[in-house]
Amino acid sequence: MGLFKYSRGTKLRMSLDRFEGWAGIVGFRDIVFQFLGTFSSAIDLIAISPHELIKFSWDTLRQEFPCLHPVQLNHILTHYILPKGLEGNNILWAPSEEDSRQIENKEMLHESFESHPDFYLPITGYSLDLNCQLQEDHLLQDFAMSLQEKLIKRK
């Protein structure tokens, strides 16, 4: 069931691409990238083919994914599910000595949303089916507009 595997990463990347594309069209690209940068980097990492991923060293991954804190990168790689036949090929993923000290700081594992725009859900008259694809773009537009308004009010 693991979340950190290639098949999940590619599905998440496709969904995130769709959302980011829409955000760009309606003028919210910068807001989306500001608040989803780390999440997007994590998805990009998980969406790399395992045959390619095992070729990367820790230092290369740190350079390719600078948005990820060492503890986040280590967590993803530690829990990444390699397909049969590739297990044990992740020896290049050993963190540097400096990063090993940072990995001990588990407080950096989770992304902080303290400065994230407020998120409001409708109180009545709305149901959301997470198993079906959203067909009503105006709902996304309304949501994005409310994010922008909240961001402007905070400034």
Domain assignment present for 151: no
Taking residues 44-71, what's their average pLDDT?
91
Distances (CA, A) of 40 to 37, 106, 124, 150: 5, 20, 31, 22
Residue 119 has pLDDT above 60, yes or no: no
Helix extents (H) in the chain: 6-25, 29-46, 50-53, 58-64, 70-79, 97-103, 137-154
Q: Is residue 146 part of a domain?
A: no
pLDDT of 112 reads: 59
**139 has a pLDDT exceeding 80:** no
Q: Is the pLDDT of residue 129 over 80?
A: no
- At residue 138, the 3 state secondary structure works out as helix
Total number of domains constituting the chain: 1
Would 41 be classed as within a structural domain?
Answer: yes
In terms of residue numbers, what domain contains 47? 6-115
pTM: 0.67
Query: Which segments of the chain are extended strands (E)?
Result: none
Bigger pLDDT: 90 or 65? Answer: 65
Residue 138 included in any domain:
no
**Residue 36, domain member (yes or no):** yes
From residue 151, alpha-carbon distances to 35, 36, 120 in Å are 11, 15, 13
Q: Is residue 128 part of a domain?
A: no
pLDDT higher for 109 or 41? 41
